[in-house]
Amino acid sequence: MRLVLMGPPGAGKGTQAIGLAARLAIPHISTGDIFRANVTEGTPLGIEAKRYMDAGEYVPDGVTNAMVRDRLAQDDCKPGFLLDGYPRTLEQVGELDSMLSAGGVAIDRAVELTVDVDEVVTRLVKRAQEQGRADDTEDVIRRRLEVYAEQTAPLTALYAERNLLVQVDGMGAVEDVTARLLEVLGA
Ligand code: AMP
């Protein structure tokens, strides 16, 4: 199964993606995690990405697309994968389409986790306190939500037109959301 998981910052995407990928036995590919690992290691990619991440902006498409292309070319992605946090722009959708069509495959489902915005802000502030993420200050949180609304929310309409979109209520206990996800995916 080739899946895309979408949802605003703080929707619980990362947590759900880990559980879902394990359950479906496919790799979990989080562009945010890959960027953070590069930031920690101080690689050139990490140094470039950090400037954008700290400001709540998206890392440029060229950088992000090249990184995903390399990751999807690895053998473990052959049976399927769960993309968490990618694609996030229309250009990324186009790039993903061409990466996959080159191998004769396509996305099977795009899952959107829906949440209440006030709840999202509460979750992000809590996460900032627990994990000390530099991109979780209140101003940056607001900017990340704006960027999501402007650049990423429109992607759901595109996947809906392709009849690939499923929306899942992301509110409530983690295990309840997981159960909803597994149900809509028929897993
Ligand atoms: P996340 O952990 O998915 O919330 O991602 C954290 C940050 O990494 C985002 O706010 C962006 O700065 C960057 N990032 C992650 N995925 C992407 C993407 N697909 N396109 C551009 N920037 C991204």
pLDDT digits (tens, 9 = 90+) for 41-74: 999 999 999 999 999 899 999 999 999 999 999 9
- Please choose, from the candidates 96, 120, 172, the residue with its C-alpha nearest in 3D space to the C-alpha of residue 7: 120
Q: How confident is the model at residue 126 (pLDDT cuts 50, 70, 90)?
A: confident
> Which sign does the torsion angle of CA 27, 32, 35, 36 carry?
negative
pLDDT of residue 166: 96
What are the structure tokens assigned to 2, written together? Answer: 């080739």
| Ligand 1 and 7: CB distance under 6 A | no
Write down the pTM of the prediction. 0.91
State the maximum Cα–Cα separation within the chain, in Å, rounded to a whole number. Answer: 44
* Burial 98-107, CB ≥16 within 10 A → b, else e: eeeeeeeeeb
Is 52 close to ligand 1, i.e. is its CB under 6 Å away? yes
Q: Is 152 in the pocket of ligand 1 (CB under 6 A)?
A: no
Q: By percentage, how much of the chain surpasses pLDDT 70?
A: 98
What's the CA gap between 181 and 15, in Å, rounded? 12
The predicted model gives 131-138 an average pLDDT of 74
Q: In the prediction, which pLDDT does 50 show?
A: 96
Q: What are phi and psi of 124, to 5 degrees?
A: -70, -40
Q: What is the pLDDT of residue 12?
A: 87
CA angle 115, 111, 106 (to 5 degrees): 160
Amino acid making up residue 134: A
Q: Give the pLDDT confidence of 99-125 residue by residue, as tens digits.
A: 999 999 999 999 999 988 887 888 788
For residue 94, pLDDT over 90 is answered with: yes
CB atoms within 10 A of CB 69: 14
Which residue would you say has higher pLDDT here, 185 or 136?
185
Q: Ligand 1 mean position to 57 CA, how many Å?
A: 8
- Give the residue-averaged pLDDT of 14-30: 95
**CA–CA distance, 121 with 109 (Å, rounded to integer):** 27
Q: How far is the CA of 5 from the centre of ligand 1 (A)?
A: 13
CA–CA separation, 130 and 97 (whole Å): 37
Task: Tell me the pLDDT band of 136, cut-offs 50, 70 and 90.
Answer: confident
